[in-house]
C-alpha cells in the first residue's frame, strides 16, 4: 500500500467496501456482523480525524496570522474570503433551484409512495423538527454573533461543534501577536512552529489507516441503508441533486479556477482528490480538514498563512453543496406535497439558504434547522422532510465533498488575490519557486 498514492488507496477502500457490503446484506446475520465488528473501526477512524481538527486549527491559524505583516493584511484576506464564500453559496442555491424546476422530480413519486415515506419517517422527523423549532425560538437576530464569542475557551475546545468559537479565539491570539514586537513573541512562534510540525505528523500517521477506515464506513453505509424500493422512488430527486453538484463543481468551479485561479482544473481536482474522497466517506468537512489543508499545501502550493485561515473558516461556514441540496430539497418537498411555489417564494429560498448557512454551524442540529427555516420561509410543512430521509446519507456524502472542493477553490483564489501584490510576489518567491518547473 505504501507504493500506491493516497487517493488510489482510498478508492480501493471504497470499492472494496461496496462489494463486501453488498455481500454481507445477502446473508442472515450479515448486518449484525457489520454493526458489531466492522462499524466500530469506521467510528474510530472518524474520531481520530476529529481528534486532531481543533489542535490543527489552533496552531495553524495562530501561526498563519502571526506570520502576516500587519492587521491590514488580515482584514483584506478576511473580507475577501467571506465575500467569496457568500457568492459561491448564492450561486450553488441558484443552480439547485434551476435543476429542480427543470427536472421536477416531485412529479415522479406516486401518492402511495409519498404516504409510505411519511409514515416510515414521520415520527423521527417530527421529533427533530420540534427540537429545531425550540432552538430557533430561543434565538434572537444577533444570537449568531453571540454564539461566536466563547465565555470559556477551554470549554469551547471540548466539542468540534464550537469550531467558530475556537477560530475566534485563535484570531484574537494571532492579532495580538502581530501587534507586538517580534522579541516579545519569538518564543511563542517557535512553540507554534513545533506544534504545527507535530500536528501534521499526527495527520500523516492517521492517514496510514485511511483506506481501512473508509472500507469500514462504506460497508456500514450499505448495511444500514433503507430498502431499495425507497431508493428507486427517490431516484429522480437524487439524480437532480447529483447533477446540480456536478454542474457546480466541475462546471462553475472549473471556470473560476481556470479564469481567476490561473490553474488547470484537472490539476486542481487531482490535487484535492484525497480530501474529496475522504469527505465523501466521512460526511464531515471538519473531520476532513487536516487532509484538505495538507492537499492545499502539498499539491496546490497554497501559502500556509492563506490556507490556515481560509480552510478552517470554510469548513465552518461554507456550505455550497449543502445549500444547493437545501434548494432542491425545499422545492422537491413542495412539489410532492402539492404546493405551487411562486417566483418570489423561490427567491426567498435563495436568500434564506444563503443566510442560514452562515450561522448554522454554531447551532445544534444544523442541517435540519437549515431546512426547517427554508421550508417555513415558503410556507411548506416541515414534516415533508420525511420524504428525503431515505437518501439523505449518500447525498450528504456528496455534498460534503462539494463543500471541501469549494473551500479549496476559495483558498486558491485567496492565494492569488488575498493580500496585495507586494506580499503575493514576496511569498511566491519563497514558497512557489521550488515547484516552478511544474
C-alpha distance from residue 377 to each of 195, 217, 349, 351, 389 (Å): 46, 35, 7, 10, 21
375-384: average pLDDT: 78
Could you tell me the pLDDT band of residue 423, with boundaries at 50, 70 and 90? very low
C-alpha span between 17 and 216 (Å, rounded): 7
pLDDT in tens, 27-49: 888 888 888 899 999 999 988 88
Whether the predicted pLDDT of 241 surpasses 90: yes
Q: Helices 285-298 & 304-317, crossing angle to 10 degrees?
A: 160
CATH at 213: 1.10.3860.10
Report yes or no on 430 lying in a domain.
no
Neighbour tally for 359: CB within 10 Å = 20
For the chain, the domain total comes to 1
385-406: average pLDDT: 84
Report yes or no on 431 lying in a domain.
no
pLDDT, mean over the chain: 81
Report yes or no on 194 lying in a domain.
yes
Report yes or no on 9 lying in a domain.
no
10-30: average pLDDT: 87
Report yes or no on 438 lying in a domain.
no
Domain range for 241 is 32-133+141-417
Q: pTM for this structure? A: 0.81
Report yes or no on 365 lying in a domain.
yes
Whether the predicted pLDDT of 438 surpasses 50: no
Nearest CA-CA partner of 212 in 3, 7, 14: 14
- Can you give the pLDDT at residue 252? 96
Report yes or no on 172 lying in a domain.
yes
Percent of the chain with pLDDT over 70: 82
pLDDT in tens, 329-354: 989 988 887 788 888 888 888 887 77
77-88: average pLDDT: 89
- Can you give the pLDDT at residue 121? 56
> How many Cα atoms sit within 13 Å of 264 on the Cβ side?
6
Could you tell me the pLDDT band of residue 136, with boundaries at 50, 70 and 90? low
C-alpha span between 21 and 108 (Å, rounded): 29
Report yes or no on 424 lying in a domain.
no
Angle at 119 between CA 117 and CA 122, to 5 degrees: 90
pLDDT in tens, 171-230: 899 889 988 888 888 899 999 989 988 988 898 898 888 899 999 989 988 887 666 666
Query: Which grid cell is 368?
Result: 435540519
299-310: average pLDDT: 88
Amino acid at each position: 500500500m505504501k507504493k500506491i498514492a493516497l487517493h488510489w488507496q482510498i478508492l480501493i477502500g471504497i470499492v472494496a467496501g461496496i462489494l463486501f457490503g453488498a455481500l454481507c446484506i445477502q446473508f442472515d446475520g450479515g448486518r449484525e456482523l457489520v454493526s458489531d465488528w466492522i462499524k466500530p473501526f469506521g467510528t474510530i477512524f472518524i474520531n481520530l480525524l476529529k481528534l486532531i481538527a481543533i489542535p490543527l486549527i489552533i496552531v495553524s491559524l495562530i501561526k498563519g496570522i502571526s506570520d502576516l505583516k500587519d492587521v491590514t493584511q488580515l482584514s483584506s484576506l478576511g473580507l475577501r474570503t467571506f465575500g467569496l464564500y457568500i457568492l459561491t453559496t448564492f450561486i450553488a442555491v441558484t443552480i439547485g433551484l434551476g435543476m429542480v424546476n427543470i427536472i421536477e422530480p416531485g412529479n415522479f413519486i406516486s401518492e402511495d409512495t409519498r404516504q409510505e415515506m411519511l409514515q416510515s419517517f414521520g415520527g423521527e422527523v417530527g421529533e427533530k423538527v420540534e427540537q429545531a423549532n425550540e432552538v430557533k425560538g430561543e434565538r434572537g437576530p444577533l444570537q449568531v454573533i453571540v454564539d461566536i464569542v466563547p465565555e470559556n475557551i477551554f470549554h469551547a475546545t471540548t466539542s468540534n461543534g464550537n469550531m467558530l468559537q475556537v477560530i475566534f479565539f485563535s484570531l484574537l491570539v494571532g492579532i495580538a501577536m502581530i501587534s507586538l514586537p517580534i522579541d516579545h513573541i519569538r518564543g511563542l512562534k517557535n512553540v507554534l512552529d513545533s506544534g504545527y510540525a507535530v500536528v501534521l505528523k499526527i495527520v500523516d500517521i492517521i492517514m496510514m489507516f485511511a483506506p481501512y477506515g473508509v472500507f469500514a464506513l462504506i460497508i456500514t453505509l450499505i448495511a444500514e441503508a433503507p430498502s431499495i424500493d425507497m431508493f428507486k422512488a427517490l431516484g429522480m430527486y437524487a439524480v437532480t441533486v447529483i447533477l446540480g453538484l456536478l454542474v457546480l463543481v466541475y462546471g462553475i468551479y472549473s471556470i473560476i479556477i481556470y479564469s481567476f485561479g490561473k490553474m488547470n482544473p484537472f490539476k486542481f481536482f487531482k490535487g484535492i482528490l484525497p480530501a474529496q474522497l475522504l469527505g465523501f466517506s466521512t460526511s464531515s468537512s471538519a473531520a476532513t480538514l487536516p487532509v484538505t489543508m495538507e492537499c492545499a499545501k502539498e499539491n496546490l502550493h497554497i501559502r500556509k498563512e492563506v490556507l490556515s485561515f481560509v480552510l478552517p473558516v470554510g469548513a465552518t461556514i461554507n456550505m455550497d453543496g449543502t445549500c444547493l441540496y437545501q434548494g432542491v430539497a425545499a422545492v422537491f418537498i413542495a412539489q410532492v406535497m402539492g404546493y405551487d411555489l411562486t417566483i418570489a417564494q423561490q427567491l426567498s429560498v435563495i436568500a434564506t439558504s444563503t443566510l442560514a448557512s452562515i450561522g448554522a454551524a454554531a447551532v445544534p442540529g444544523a442541517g435540519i434547522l437549515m431546512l426547517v427555516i427554508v421550508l417555513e420561509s415558503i410556507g411548506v410543512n416541515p414534516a415533508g422532510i420525511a420524504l428525503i430521509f431515505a437518501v439523505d446519507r449518500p447525498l450528504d456524502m456528496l455534498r460534503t465533498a462539494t463543500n471541501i472542493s469549494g473551500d479549496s477553490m476559495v483558498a486558491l483564489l485567496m492565494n492569488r488575490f488575498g493580500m496585495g501584490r507586494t506580499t503575493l510576489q514576496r511569498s511566491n518567491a519563497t514558497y512557489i519557486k521550488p515547484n516552478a518547473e511544474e
